[in-house]
Amino acid sequence: MGTLAGKTALVTGGSRGIGRATAERLGREGAVVAVHYGRNAGAAEEAVGAIRAAGGTAFAVHAELGQDGDVETLWAEFDRQVLKHCDRAGLDILVNNAGITPRGHIEETTPAVFDEVFAVNVRAPFFLVQQGLKRLRNGGRIINVSSGATRIALTDIIAYGMTKGAIDTFTRTLAKAMGDRGITVNAVAPGIIDTDLNASWLKGNEAAEQSAAQLSALGRVGRPEDVADVIAFLASDDARWVTGQVIDATGGSQL
Ligand code: NAP
């Protein structure tokens, strides 16, 4: 039996990249997985199909984050679907992974871009947790996906880095607020990971891949599974005494 048998998990942005690898790993551990997505229903169905093909249980949840009513839509859809796949409502593990990374130095970042990245990366997880608290069982897990960009000063994604700084503060403070319910709250901070998010400059560009690999002490670009495995640890009982932490999963980038 998997380490997460009997648990229900929701992974935002679980249809692609780090979220998909996380959803698949949690599914292999026996959790029922709600795979959230924004626009690409096909990718969500593929992720759900992969989890089912591996013997797991999963369903897709649609809600575009960063808009009015986003969180209400997501939870309504989750509530509607979960009882079809599980014998009880509610959940045990919430992974706040969905995020966007608009590029821009301070001179180029417009108020609209600034507002959008904060709405998707900060406002949505904040209110998803707020409205999810009555669904999250005591002893549960909240895992937020942060970024190495809070430690490494990346001037071309300045607003994005600020959103992840907010996530780190949210993580630490929420951990204190949730302690009496036995809910742990942690964050994982990846470095450069080979996902669609970086495809425009990384995919098929050997020079870019080599220079990205050199940033890591381990000499390669990260894979979605490198992060998903850390998230799975934080979701497991083995991590029961870890809370309020940001775990660096950058492969030792720019140490
Ligand atoms: P990705 O491959 O671009 O996948 C993003 C996922 O989030 C997709 O499932 C996407 O669903 C969903 N999503 C994005 N915007 C959304 C919105 N407005 N509403 C609803 N869903 C939305 O991203 P990734 O590289 O796996 O990154 C995942 C997380 O890791 C992000 O928080 C990112 O900041 C963080 N991170 C990534 C890296 C990296 O190098 N890749 C490094 C550090 C941190 P749809 O396709 O349906 O829109």
Question: pLDDT digit string (tens) for 160-188?
Answer: 999 999 999 999 999 999 999 999 999 99
User: Which tokens is 152 given?
Assistant: 């490494």
State yes or no: pLDDT of 7 exceeds 80. yes
Give bridge partners of residue 188 from the DSSP assignment: 145, 247
CA of 180 to the centre of ligand 1 (A): 31
Report the atom number in ligand 1 closest to the C-alpha of 148: 43
**Can you tell me the mean pLDDT for 39-62?**
98
Cα-based torsion angle of the residue sequence 190, 98, 47, 77 in order, rounded to the nearest 10 degrees: 150
**CA 31 distance to own-chain centroid:** 16
Q: Name 24's Cβ contacts closer than 8 Å, sequence gap at least 6.
A: 47, 50, 51, 54, 228
pTM of this prediction exceeds 0.85: yes
β-pair type (136-145, 184-190): parallel
Angle at 11 between CA 6 and CA 14, to 5 degrees: 125
Q: What percent of the chain has pLDDT over 70?
A: 100
State yes or no: pLDDT of 1 exceeds 90. no
DSSP character at residue 152: S
Interatomic CA distance for residues 51 and 46, integer angstroms: 9
| pLDDT, mean over the chain | 98
pLDDT at 56: 98
Interatomic CA distance for residues 106 and 155, integer angstroms: 8
Q: Give tens-digit pLDDT for 83-107.
A: 999 999 999 999 999 999 999 999 9
- Residue to mutate, 197, 225, 226, ligand 1, most ligand atoms under 8 Å from C-beta: 197
Q: Name 207's Cβ contacts closer than 8 Å, sequence gap at least 6.
A: none
Q: What percent of the chain has pLDDT over 90?
A: 100
The verdict on whether 147 is a catalytic residue reads yes
The verdict on whether 146 is a catalytic residue reads yes
Interatomic CA distance for residues 136 and 94, integer angstroms: 8
Q: How confident is the model at residue 246 (pLDDT cuts 50, 70, 90)?
A: very high
Interatomic CA distance for residues 101 and 136, integer angstroms: 28
Ligand 1 environment, Cβ below 6 A: 13, 15-19, 37-40, 43, 64-66, 97-101, 120, 145, 147, 190, 192-193, 195-198
Is the dihedral angle over the CA atoms 12, 168, 147, 32 positive or is it negative? Answer: negative
Q: Which residue minimizes the CA distance to atom 41 of ligand 1? A: 193
Selected catalytic residue, list 7, 15, 146, 216: 146
Selected catalytic residue, list 7, 15, 160, 216: 160
Interatomic CA distance for residues 164 and 113, integer angstroms: 15
Give bridge partners of residue 186 from the DSSP assignment: 143
Report phi then psi at 35, rounded to 5.
-100, 100
Instruction: Please name the amino acid found at residue 38.
Output: G
